[in-house]
Chain A
Amino acid sequence: DIQMTQSPSTLSASVGDRVTITCRASQSISSWLAWYQQKPGKAPKLLIYDASSLESGVPSRFSGSGSGTEFTLTINSLQPDDFATYYCQQYNSFSWTFGQGTKVESK
């Protein structure tokens, strides 16, 4: 099974900051990676798919990059609504796997 490892687990930031979250796959997954945002008590929301494609309706301050085994999610100019937990997910093999999550909290 493909394992996904995110870092950091928690990130403290301020409004206006540029935030970067990393996700590593245990083997190459090409660009078959998605990023989700989850707020407490809510379902996850798709932000990025195919490593760098922005889901419709998602603000352009969110961007994704990477391929193979290393990927990043960047939030440019963090907004108050962006404090949440972020998950990466691989869909290279037919057994979808999530990273353990990165909580972005207010500094």
Chain B
Amino acid sequence: EVQLVESGGGLIQPGGSLRLSCAASGFTVSSNFMSWVRQAPGKGLEWVSVIYSGGATHYADSVKGRFTISRDNSKNTLFLQMNSLRAEDTGVYYCARDGSGAVAGPFDYWGQGTLVTVSS
């Protein structure tokens, strides 16, 4: 059974850093495109970042230069390092699997989400 479990969220001051984790089971993270998607309180979904199966990465303009996506193949875990956090980064962060394989596709599995609150 495919499962994604996020952790690492919490309350952080503006300008601070946080590292989110997404532990996967039932499939191999490095064989899929893996993304982070966030949702501000009461708002819609915003795609944040992707790491392709080959290891290349891509970011939304809103987080480029501040966030870094990575993975640990030995732990089958996805990460999101978030630096220089701003109030507008507040929200629930989901990791999601692109089930299409080698091309961009829909997200067929999602984690339960982890809440990040940026506030002084």
Give A contacts to B, CB under 8 Å. Answer: 1, 32, 34, 36, 38, 42-46, 49-50, 55, 87, 89, 91-101
Bound form: Cα–Cα A36–B110 in Å: 11
Residues of B within 8 A of A98 (CB): 37, 44-47
Minimum CB–CB distance for A42 against chain B, Å: 8
Residues of A within 8 A of B100 (CB): 91
The interface size of chain B toward A, counting residues with CB under 8 Å, comes to 22
* Of B67-75, B78-86, B101-109, the one touching chain A: B101-109
Q: Is the CB of B44 within 8 A of A101?
A: yes
| A-B Cβ contacts below 8 A, count | 59
Bound form: Cα–Cα A83–B109 in Å: 21
Over the window 82-120 of chain B, the binary record of Cβ atoms lying under 8 Å from chain A Cβ atoms (1 yes, 0 no) is 000000000000100010100011111011110000000
Bound form: Cα–Cα A98–B45 in Å: 6
With A87-B44, A96-B35, A97-B47 already in contact, 12 other A-B pairs whose C-beta atoms are closer than 8 Å: A38-B45, A43-B111, A44-B107, A46-B107, A89-B45, A91-B104, A93-B104, A95-B58, A98-B44, A98-B45, A99-B44, A100-B44
Q: Is the CB of B58 within 8 A of A94?
A: yes
Bound form: Cα–Cα A101–B94 in Å: 17
> Contacts A43-B113, A95-B60, A99-B44; is A55 near B108 (CB within 8 Å)?
yes
Closest residue to B45 on the A side, CB-wise? A98
Contact of B45 among A44, A46, A91, A92 (CB under 8 A): A44
